[in-house]
């Protein structure tokens, strides 16, 4: 197969011991270390060895569950996790090039708090921070906060008019959330800090701006308490499965993660997102569309299949996912990625089924195969996550308005 017209972008999604619910029972896994800094440092360091663009770190506001809508009460799967933003802040100084993108749940958190957390992460990482924004309608998660309630929902209820109204509202709220966060990042101009000991002037107050945001969901005055991040705007990303979240990606994000199961569906999704992007007035901006895939990788296809079947047996049921599941060799995965890239995807976020096995298979198997095809970088060529993704450092909206 011919090489891709442009090099691919690659990320990995890290979640506990891996995306298969029985991953923690594999000999290579480290279940007793899942809540240690060393475990997460090792994963992100391995991803950086593979020259990957970034890692995302899963998070949530309730215990993990095999149900999409409610707790499940299971005790045979990993339950409990560390805070993704704090994991990112811990591992970032121990790496040099890879981006760190924690998950944040907009539904029950405040954009002011999140803006300064991610701005701080951008300083700690010297310009390699991002975030993955997520929404939730789970009743048990709302009950942790006591400020709002949701009706009981099953998966099939999301397709009803009431379900669609709820989903649309949550994603509209997330769009406002991201807008507030972005404005707060810009609320300090880049040269607002003078730090002149001789004159006693530390900041130029005229270069700190009230954002005065008033929307349906938030009223935020600003400015931030954290100066503008090194990247100006850390990278914003979101997972999307349908038109309403595609619209959030098109309006608010730098990267959208999508879940096509074949090239035709990938092409259709990309076309829909590009149309929404144009409708949002962002046609001239770079917006990456990454395909998500769960991967079981081994040197031998039969070995990968046998490992998946063994894990399914331990779990008591076949593993399913919103994303396409690839079971095979790094070379076979490289073929698939190039096929999907030809349909318009600009990168991929791979979900290792077993972190201890499939992450090294990505970095030590897939990456060299893509390099042989001239489809992936051979060295890091930028010092920031925006730079790795080909995103320019944006002008500050308030400074630009003052000089307009």
What pLDDT sits at residue 3? 42
- Per-residue pLDDT tens over the stretch 126-142: 999 999 999 998 888 88
C-alpha separations of 293 from 10, 348, 367 in Å: 11, 8, 15
- Per-residue pLDDT tens over the stretch 148-193: 888 887 877 778 888 889 999 999 999 999 999 999 999 999 999 9
What pLDDT sits at residue 402? 65
Residue 112 domain flag: yes
- Whether the predicted pLDDT of 1 surpasses 70: no
What pLDDT sits at residue 4? 42
Residue 28 domain flag: yes
Return d(Cα 11, Cα 216) in angstroms, integer.
34
- Per-residue pLDDT tens over the stretch 27-74: 999 999 999 999 999 999 999 999 999 999 999 999 998 888 888 889
- Whether the predicted pLDDT of 207 surpasses 70: yes
Quote the number of domains for the chain.
Answer: 1
Confidence of residue 403 (pLDDT cuts 50, 70, 90): low
Residue 207 domain flag: no
Query: Position of tokens 């760190």?
Result: 100
Residue 208 domain flag: no
Residue 224 domain flag: no
67: Cβ contacts below 8 Å, ≥ 6 apart? none
Return d(Cα 299, Cα 253) in angstroms, integer.
36
Return d(Cα 14, Cα 350) in angstroms, integer.
9
341: Cβ contacts below 8 Å, ≥ 6 apart? 4, 8, 375
- Per-residue pLDDT tens over the stretch 62-110: 999 888 888 888 999 999 999 999 999 999 999 999 999 999 999 999 9
Give me the chain's average pLDDT, please: 94
What pLDDT sits at residue 226? 97
Q: Tokens representing 210? A: 């009230």
We report the CATH number of the domain holding residue 384 as 3.20.20.30
CA 308, 313, 318: angle at the middle one, nearest 5? 65
What pLDDT sits at residue 162? 86
Residue 307 domain flag: yes
Closest CA to 213 of 169, 249, 175, 168: 175
Q: 2-16, 219-233, 390-404 — which is least confidently predicted?
A: 2-16
- The pairing of strands 201-203 and 193-196 is antiparallel
Chain mean position to CA 331: 25
- Whether the predicted pLDDT of 315 surpasses 50: yes
Give the mean pLDDT of 1-20.
Answer: 82
Residue 281 domain flag: yes
SS (H, E, C) the chain: CCCCCCCCEEEEEECCCCCCCCHHHCCCCCHHHCCCHHHHHHHHHHHHHCCCCEEEECCCCCCCCCCCCCCCCCCCCCCCCCCHHHHHHHHHHHCCCCEEEEEEEHHHCCHHHHHHHHHHHHHHCCCCEEEEEECCCCHHHHHCCCCCCCCCCCHHHHHCHHHHHHHHHHHHHHHHHHHHHHHHHCCECCCCEEEECCCCEEECHHHECCCCEECCCCEECCCCCCCCCCCCCCEEEEECCCHHHHHHHHHHCCEEEECCCCHHHHHHHHHHHHHHHHHCCCCCCCCEEEEEEEEEECCCHHHHHHHHHHHHHHHCCCCCCCCEEEEECHHHHHHHHHHHHHCCCCEEEEEECCHHHHHHHHHHHHHHHHHHCCCCCCCCCCCCHHHHCCCCCCCCHHHHHHHC
Burial 355-376 (b: 16+ CB within 10 A, else e): bbbbbbbbbebbbebbeebebb
Q: Which domain holds residue 273?
A: 9-136+235-338+345-403
pTM for the predicted model, two decimal places: 0.95
Closest CA to 117 of 88, 81, 95: 88
Residue 215 domain flag: no
Residue 204 in contact with residue 191, Cβ under 8 Å? yes
Q: Tokens representing 326? A: 């690839």
**Straight-line distance from the first to the last Cα atom of the chain, in angstroms, rounded to the nearest whole number:** 50
- Per-residue pLDDT tens over the stretch 260-303: 999 999 999 999 999 999 999 999 999 999 999 999 999 999 99
């Amino acid at each position: 197969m011919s090489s891709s017209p442009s090099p691919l972008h690659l990320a990995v999604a890290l979640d506990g011991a891996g995306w298969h619910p029985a991953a923690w029972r594999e000999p290579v896994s480290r279940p007793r270390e899942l809540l240690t800094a060393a475990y997460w440092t090792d994963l992100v360091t391995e991803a950086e060895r593979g020259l990957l663009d970034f890692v995302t770190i899963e998070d949530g506001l309730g215990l993990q569950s095999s149900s999409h809508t409610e707790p499940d009460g299971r005790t045979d799967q990993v339950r409990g996790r560390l805070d993704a933003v704090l994991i990112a802040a811990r591992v970032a100084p121990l790496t040099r090039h890879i981006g760190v993108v924690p998950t944040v749940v907009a539904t029950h958190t405040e954009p002011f708090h999140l803006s300064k957390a991610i701005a701080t992460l951008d300083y700690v990482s010297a310009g390699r921070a991002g975030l993955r924004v997520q929404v939730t309608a789970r009743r048990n998660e709302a009950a942790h906060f006591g400020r709002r309630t949701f009706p009981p929902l099953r998966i099939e209820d999301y397709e009803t008019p009431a379900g669609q109204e709820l989903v649309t509202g949550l994603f509209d709220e997330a769009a406002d959330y991201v807008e507030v966060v972005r404005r707060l990042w810009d609320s300090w101009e880049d040269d607002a800090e003078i730090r002149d000991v001789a004159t006693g002037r530390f900041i130029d107050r005229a270069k700190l701006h009230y954002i005065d945001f008033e929307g349906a969901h938030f009223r935020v005055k600003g400015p931030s308490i954290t100066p503008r991040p090194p990247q100006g705007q850390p990278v914003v990303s979101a997972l999307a499965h349908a038109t309403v979240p595609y619209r959030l990606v098109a309006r608010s994000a730098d990267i959208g993660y999508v879940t096509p199961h074949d090239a035709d569906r990938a092409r259709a999704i990309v076309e829909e997102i590009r149309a929404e992007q144009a409708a949002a007035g962002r046609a001239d901006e770079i917006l990456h569309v990454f395909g998500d895939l769960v991967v079981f990788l081994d040197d031998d296809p039969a070995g990968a299949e046998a490992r998946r079947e063994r894990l399914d047996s331990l779990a008591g049921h076949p593993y399913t996912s919103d994303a396409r599941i690839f079971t095979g060799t790094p070379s076979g995965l490289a073929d698939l990625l190039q096929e999907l890239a030809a349909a318009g995807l600009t990168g991929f976020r791979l979900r290792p089924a077993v972190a201890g096995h499939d992450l090294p298979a990505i970095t030590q198997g897939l990456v060299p195969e893509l390099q042989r095809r001239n489809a992936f970088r051979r060295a890091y060529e930028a010092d920031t996550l925006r730079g790795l993704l080909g995103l320019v450092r944006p002008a500050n909206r308030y400074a630009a308005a003052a000089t307009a």
